Amino acid sequence: MKDKSMRSNRIQKLSRRAILSYGQPISDLMSKALANPSLISLAAGFVDQESLPCEETQEAMRRLTADESAMQQALQYGTTSGYPPLRDAILDRLKHQDQLSDDPTLNIDRMVMTAGSNQLLHLVAETLLDPGDIVPCSSPTYFVFMGTLKNLDVQAEGIESDEHGMIPEALADRLEFWRRRGELSRVKAVYVVSYYDNPRGVSLAYERRQQLVEVCHRFSVDYPIYILDDMAYRELRYENDDQPSLLHFDESRQHVISTGTFSKSFSPGIRVGWGILPESLVAAVCNQKGNIDFGSPNLNQHLMHHVIQVGLLDEHIEQIRGVYRTKLESMLEAADRWLAPLADVHWIRPDGGLYVWVELPQEVDAGLGSALFERAMEEGVLYVPGEFCFADSGVPIRKNTLRLSFGVQTPKRIAQGVEALGRAIRDVTDR
Residues 170-199 that bind a second copy (CB under 8 A): 185, 188
CB of 305 to a second copy, least distance (A): 13
CA distance 114 to 78: 13
Site for a second copy in 288-317 (CB under 8 A): 288, 290-294, 296-300, 302
Among 41, 81, 118, 416, binds a second copy (CB under 8 A): 118
The per-residue DSSP string of 339-360 comes to ITTSTT-EE---SBSSEEEEE-
CB of 16 to a second copy, least distance (A): 5
CA distance 172 to 166: 11
**Residue 257 host element (H or E):** strand 256-261
Closest CA to 268 of 229, 295, 232, 234: 232
CA distance 385 to 382: 9
| 210 lies in the binding site for a second copy (CB under 8 A) | no
Among 268, 282, 323, 325, binds a second copy (CB under 8 A): 268
| 218 lies in the binding site for a second copy (CB under 8 A) | yes
CB of 146 to a second copy, least distance (A): 11
| 220 lies in the binding site for a second copy (CB under 8 A) | yes
CA distance 268 to 250: 30
CA distance 400 to 386: 7
CA distance 95 to 165: 23
Contact track, a second copy, 272-291, x by CB under 8 A: ------x-xx-xx-xxx-xx
Among 252, 315, 344, 392, binds a second copy (CB under 8 A): 252
Site for a second copy in 390-429 (CB under 8 A): none
| 38 lies in the binding site for a second copy (CB under 8 A) | no
ω into 396 cis (within 30 of 0): no
CB of 196 to a second copy, least distance (A): 19
Candidates 7-15, 362-370, 386-394, 418-426; binding stretch for a second copy (CB under 8 A): 7-15
Which amino acid belongs to residue 330?
A: S
| 117 lies in the binding site for a second copy (CB under 8 A) | no
CB of 136 to a second copy, least distance (A): 16
CB of 193 to a second copy, least distance (A): 16
CB of 205 to a second copy, least distance (A): 21
CB of 18 to a second copy, least distance (A): 5
CA distance 329 to 322: 11
3-state helix, strand, coil in the chain (%, to 5): 50, 15, 40
Candidates 71-79, 99-107, 135-143, 415-423; binding stretch for a second copy (CB under 8 A): 71-79
Beta bridge partners of 39: none
Among 92, 109, 251, 336, binds a second copy (CB under 8 A): 251
CB of 273 to a second copy, least distance (A): 10
Contact track, a second copy, 119-158, x by CB under 8 A: x--x---xxxxx----------------xx--x-------
Q: Name, in order, each residue with C-beta under 8 angstroms of 377's C-beta and a sequence gap of 6 or more.
A: 32, 36, 39
Query: What's the N-to-C CA distance of the chain in angstroms?
Result: 60
Among 165, 199, 224, 352, binds a second copy (CB under 8 A): 224
Pairing of strands 273-276, 256-261: antiparallel
Q: How many residues does the chain have?
A: 431
CB of 105 to a second copy, least distance (A): 13
| 269 lies in the binding site for a second copy (CB under 8 A) | yes
Q: Name, in order, each residue with C-beta under 8 angstroms of 183's C-beta and a sequence gap of 6 or more.
A: 134
CA distance 200 to 193: 10
Site for a second copy in 328-387 (CB under 8 A): none
| 35 lies in the binding site for a second copy (CB under 8 A) | no
Degrees to nearest 5, angle at CA 39 with 37 and 43: 105
Contact track, a second copy, 72-111, x by CB under 8 A: xxxxxxx---------------------------------
